[in-house]
C-alpha cells in the first residue's frame, strides 16, 4: 500500500501542477461511477500515471543477486553472487533515453513514442522474473482512484515545489500538500 500511495500522491501532484492535462481526457465526463471496463477507455490517464511513475518511482532503488558472471560493455565482469543495486530513479532520469528528464510529459508514453524505446528504460515495477507481482492491480487501483477523484474534485497545488525524499519508498520531504475542491 505504501508504494501505491506514493504513486497516487505524485500523480495527483503532477496533475495539480499541470491542470491542462486534467482537462484532456483524464476524467470520465458526466459519469458518477467507474466500471472495470472504463479503465481501458482511459489511455491518457494511463500515460499520466506512467510519466509520474517515471519521475517519481515509488521504489527508487532495487537490489538483485547476480546468478552468473556478467560482462558489461567496457569488458569488466560482475561476478556471480554479487549483489547489485539498480537505480530505478537513475534509469528513469537518463537523458540519453529521456530528453529533458525532469519535465513532466505524459506524451512520452503515447504508443507511437514507446515503439523505439527499450522496455527496460521504464521499470517502476522492476523487470524480469522478479518484477512486482501486483503491478496490474496497482495500475488498476491508481486509475480507479484517480478517475473517481478527478470526476468529483479539482486538485490544486497548495504550496511550492516539493523535495524528493528517496527512502525505501519515494516520498516528499514534508509531504505533498494539495487542495481539493468539489466539482460543481
How much of the chain, in percent, has pLDDT values that exceed 90? 49
d(CA 45, CA 15): 10
Q: State residue 61's pLDDT score.
A: 92
pTM: 0.88
**Domain of residue 12, CATH code:** 1.10.630.10
Q: State residue 31's pLDDT score.
A: 61
Q: How far is CA 49 from CA 122, 147, 157, in A?
A: 12, 11, 18
At 24, the pLDDT band (50, 70, 90 cuts) reads low
Q: Is 10 exposed, middle or buried (0-12, 13-18, 19+ CB in 10 A)?
A: buried
Domain limits for position 19: 2-182
Q: Is 48 annotated as a binding residue?
A: no
Q: State residue 173's pLDDT score.
A: 84
Q: 81-131 pLDDT, tens per residue?
A: 999 999 999 999 999 999 999 999 999 999 999 988 999 999 999 988 888
Q: 26-68 pLDDT, tens per residue?
A: 555 556 667 777 777 788 899 999 999 999 999 999 999 999 9
Q: How many domains does the chain have?
A: 1
Amino acid at each position: 500500500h505504501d508504494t501505491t500511495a506514493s504513486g497516487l500522491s505524485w500523480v495527483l501532484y503532477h496533475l495539480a501542477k499541470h491542470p491542462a492535462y486534467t482537462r484532456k481526457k483524464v476524467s470520465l465526463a458526466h459519469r458518477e461511477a467507474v466500471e472495470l471496463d472504463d479503465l481501458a477507455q482511459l489511455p491518457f490517464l494511463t500515460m499520466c500515471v506512467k510519466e509520474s511513475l517515471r519521475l517519481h518511482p515509488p521504489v527508487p532503488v532495487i537490489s538483485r543477486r547476480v546468478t552468473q558472471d556478467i560482462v558489461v560493455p567496457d569488458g569488466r565482469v560482475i561476478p556471480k553472487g554479487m549483489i547489485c543495486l539498480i537505480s530505478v530513479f537513475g534509469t528513469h532520469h537518463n537523458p540519453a533515453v529521456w530528453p529533458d528528464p525532469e519535465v513532466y510529459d505524459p506524451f512520452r508514453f503515447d504508443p507511437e513514442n514507446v515503439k523505439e524505446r527499450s522496455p527496460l528504460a521504464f521499470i517502476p515495477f522492476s523487470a524480469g522474473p522478479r518484477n512486482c507481482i501486483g503491478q496490474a492491480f496497482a495500475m488498476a487501483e491508481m486509475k480507479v482512484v484517480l478517475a473517481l477523484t478527478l470526476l468529483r474534485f479539482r486538485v490544486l497545488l497548495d504550496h511550492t515545489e516539493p523535495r524528493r525524499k528517496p527512502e525505501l519508498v519515494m516520498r516528499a520531504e514534508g509531504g505533498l500538500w494539495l487542495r481539493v475542491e468539489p466539482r460543481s
